[in-house]
């Protein structure tokens, strides 16, 4: 299902992008995992735990020792014979004296009291300041002052610096926390793995579509090319691929278009030359078939005219007219036959490397002579009168392969057509521009005029032999021109002139 909906290269690129994101991620996961394990094995070393526990035990021992010491001190005070005697006697004053004498020996004491069995204080002495609960921790030790059950009781209140106890507590807390952490390190590890799984999932979700989108931009254009190539392979040269973007595929697209252009051009040229060949053959036969009977026809009529000796003036006049008509028509036919055989015997162009700009300059120099040969038709005395010819020839070299004589013939034909078109327009005057344009592969010789222009529907037929829009044309001029240009490996096209409004003929020649 997947393979039928996505292209192979799309999947490949998506996979590459995904892997290039996944591999570092996977490496960092394993690195992270091993680091985590290493760190946790150092941090959670059993020895560390034992040492910590031992530290806390030391604290506990210390505190126990402090407490034992105080109990011991209380024992010593309680065993004081004077105090015991006073207590046995129930003499408060003596008890007080004994308490006071003991007090100074024990700096940790806060208060000493003698309490009767029913809780009444019999004597008491204290250090003179109250217990500071913030800084000190108190311990009360009770000891009987006699063996009898009713003996009074010594209550000794000791105070110890609280700091020690707090330290013990926090050390205990830390060790407890450590143990807690130790117990939960599996959870931590799983959290770590889960975070990376989410990252991998995100990578997957982001990189795969990204890969597909990126790949599709490329594959879409490749597929466009492929479908166009298929058509071309099937012989259809009527498609070109859009040239988009600016990468290798763009170059490929324009190269493909150029190739198809060339193939289509070559095929069109071959077809045209074949067609022209057929026309030439026909012209040859026609010329032959027409030329042969012309002389006998003319001779027969001339003989008729000469041999008539009758008196009929009317018949004489008829004969005169007949001779005149036949001679005129035969002359016209001879001229036509001449054109036909010229066309049939037209030599092939033999192009040689030359500078087209220089050729055009030379053509311009010769043009004054050529103008006389332009045969612009009846009633025009001044050939170029009212026609302004502008030459736009670049100074740089425009190199192409040309047969100078043949190409001159083409240009003469185009310029003559342009001049005739202007003459046939109501204004009878106008402009002709002859120019050169160039692209890296092609040079264009352009002849445009301000005449009435060419009907869009005639623009292709124009180059067919025997097609003419002029009353006295043979329809061979442009056909010959096209044949010559095609033999140059070029192309000639009839367009409309955007500058002058008339016709525009573009001769495209391959640059050498």
Q: What does the binding site for another protein look like in residue numbers (CB under 8 A)?
A: 1-2, 5-6, 33, 37, 185-186, 189-190, 193-194, 197, 200-201, 204-205, 208-209, 212, 216, 220, 223-224, 226-228, 231, 236-244, 257, 261, 264-265, 456-457, 459-460, 495-498, 504
Nearest distance from C-beta of residue 209 to another protein, angstroms: 6
Nearest distance from C-beta of residue 201 to another protein, angstroms: 5
Nearest distance from C-beta of residue 194 to another protein, angstroms: 6
State the sign of the Cα–Cα–Cα–Cα dihedral 78, 79, 83, 84: positive
Choice between 168 and 239, CB closer to another protein: 239
Work out the number of other CB atoms within 10 angstroms of the CB of residue 83: 25
Choice between 199 and 333, CB closer to another protein: 199
Choice between 184 and 302, CB closer to another protein: 184
CA distance to 44, 176, 275, per residue, from 56 (Å): 17, 10, 113
Choice between 361 and 459, CB closer to another protein: 459
Nearest distance from C-beta of residue 272 to another protein, angstroms: 14
Choice between 3 and 309, CB closer to another protein: 3
Nearest distance from C-beta of residue 179 to another protein, angstroms: 17
For residues 395-428, b (16+ Cβ closer than 10 Å) or e, as one string? eeebbbbbbeebbbbbbbbbbbbbbbbbbebeee
Q: Rounded to an integer, what distance in angstroms lies between the CA atom of residue 18 and that of residue 203?
A: 7
Angle at 299 between CA 295 and CA 304, to 5 degrees: 155
Choice between 104 and 457, CB closer to another protein: 457
Q: Which H or E run contains 143?
A: strand 136-144
Nearest distance from C-beta of residue 292 to another protein, angstroms: 43
Beta carbons of 416 and 432 less than 8 angstroms apart: no
Nearest distance from C-beta of residue 38 to another protein, angstroms: 12
Choice between 8 and 64, CB closer to another protein: 8
CA distance to 238, 335, 379, 398, per residue, from 235 (Å): 9, 43, 52, 34
Q: Rounded to an integer, what distance in angstroms lies between the CA atom of residue 511 and that of residue 140?
A: 118
Nearest distance from C-beta of residue 62 to another protein, angstroms: 38
Nearest distance from C-beta of residue 395 to another protein, angstroms: 25
Choice between 255 and 460, CB closer to another protein: 460
Choice between 73 and 497, CB closer to another protein: 497
State the sign of the Cα–Cα–Cα–Cα dihedral 125, 127, 132, 136: negative
How does DSSP assign 299-325, residue by residue?
HHHHHHHHH-----HHHHHHHHHHHHH
Q: Residue 503 corresponds to which tokens in the numbers above?
A: 């016709």
With the CA atoms of 154, 159, 160 and 165 taken in that order, what torsion angle do they form, in degrees rounded to the nearest 10? Answer: 90
Q: Residue 430 corresponds to which tokens in the numbers above?
A: 């106008």
């Amino acid at each position: 299902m997947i393979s039928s909906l996505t292209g192979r290269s799309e999947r490949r690129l998506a996979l590459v992008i995904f892997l290039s994101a996944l591999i570092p991620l996977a490496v960092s996961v394993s690195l992270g995992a091993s680091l985590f394990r290493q760190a946790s094995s150092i941090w959670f070393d059993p020895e560390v735990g034992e040492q910590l526990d031992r530290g806390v035990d030391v604290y506990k021992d210390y505190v126990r020792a402090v407490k034992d010491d105080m109990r011991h001190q209380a024992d010593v005070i309680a065993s004081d014979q004077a105090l015991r005697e006073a207590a046995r006697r129930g003499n408060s004053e003596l008890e007080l004296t004994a308490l006071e004498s003991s007090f100074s020996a024990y700096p940790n004491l806060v208060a000493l009291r003698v309490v009767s069995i029913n809780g009444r204080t019999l004597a008491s002495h204290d250090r003179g300041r109250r217990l500071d609960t913030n800084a000190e921790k108190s311990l009360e030790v009770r000891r009987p002052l006699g063996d009898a059950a009713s003996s009074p009781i010594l209550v000794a209140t000791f105070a110890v610096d609280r700091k020690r106890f707090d330290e013990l507590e926090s050390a205990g807390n830390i060790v407890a926390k450590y143990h807690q952490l130790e117990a939960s390190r599996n959870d931590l590890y799983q959290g770590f793995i889960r975070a990376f799984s989410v990252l991998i999932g995100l990578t997957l979700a982001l990189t795969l579509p990204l890969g597909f989108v990126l790949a599709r931009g490329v594959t879409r254009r490749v597929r466009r090319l492929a479908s166009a190539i298929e058509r071309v392979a099937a012989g259809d040269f009527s498609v070109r691929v859009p040239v988009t973007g600016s990468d290798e595929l763009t170059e490929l697209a324009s190269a493909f278009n150029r190739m198809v252009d060339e193939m289509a051009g070559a095929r069109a040229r071959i077809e045209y030359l074949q067609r022209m060949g057929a026309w030439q053959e026909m012209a040859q036969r026609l010329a032959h078939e027409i030329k042969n009977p012309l002389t006998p026809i003319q001779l027969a009529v001339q003989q008729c005219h000469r041999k008539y000796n009758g008196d009929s003036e009317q018949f004489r006049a008829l004969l005169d007219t007949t001779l005149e008509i036949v001679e005129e028509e035969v002359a016209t036919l001879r001229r036509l036959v001449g054109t036909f055989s010229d066309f049939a015997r037209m030599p092939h162009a033999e192009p040689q490397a030359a500078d087209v700009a220089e050729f055009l300059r030379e053509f311009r120099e010769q043009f004054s002579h050529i103008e006389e040969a332009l045969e612009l038709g009846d009633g025009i005395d001044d050939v170029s009168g009212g026609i302004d010819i502008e030459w736009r020839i670049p100074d740089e070299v425009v190199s192409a392969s040309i047969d100078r004589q043949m190409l001159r013939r083409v240009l003469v034909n185009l310029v003559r057509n342009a001049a005739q078109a202007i003459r046939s327009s109501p204004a009878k005057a106008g402009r002709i521009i002859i120019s050169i344009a160039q692209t890296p592969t092609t040079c264009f010789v352009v002849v445009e005029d301000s005449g009435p222009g060419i009907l869009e529907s005639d623009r292709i037929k124009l180059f067919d032999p025997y097609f003419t829009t002029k009353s006295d044309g043979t329809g061979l001029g442009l056909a010959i021109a096209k044949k010559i240009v095609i033999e140059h490996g070029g192309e000639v096209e009839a367009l409309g002139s955007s500058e002058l409004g008339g016709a525009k003929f573009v001769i495209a020649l391959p640059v050498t």
